[in-house]
Amino acid sequence: MKFERTEPVVKKEGYLISLNAIFSSCRDMGMRNKAIVDAYNIHGYTMIEIANYLGISKSRVSQVVKMSTENLAL
């Protein structure tokens, strides 16, 4: 089973949910990784936007999203 990105839920003036709101409840790396995947797949943020917000590389964001996709395929 391959996971495909859903259409983002956005308003014309911007995103419905801020990255701050998405990541505010993250207490560990697992929660952060799930929030990365949600921000990308559900809320429509780009990997660069997520990486800049978290202070990590776009490559790391890509790895987290890819690992999530691969885990869904198992």
Q: List pLDDT tens digits, range 29-58.
A: 999 999 999 999 999 999 999 999 999 999
User: For residue 15, is pLDDT > 60?
Assistant: yes
pLDDT band for 69, please (50, 70, 90 cuts). Answer: confident
Percent of the chain with pLDDT over 90: 68
Report the C-alpha gap between 59 and 8 in whole angstroms: 21
Longest CA–CA separation in the chain, Å: 38
Q: What is the model's pTM?
A: 0.78
Unique residue bearing structure tokens 């691969």: 70
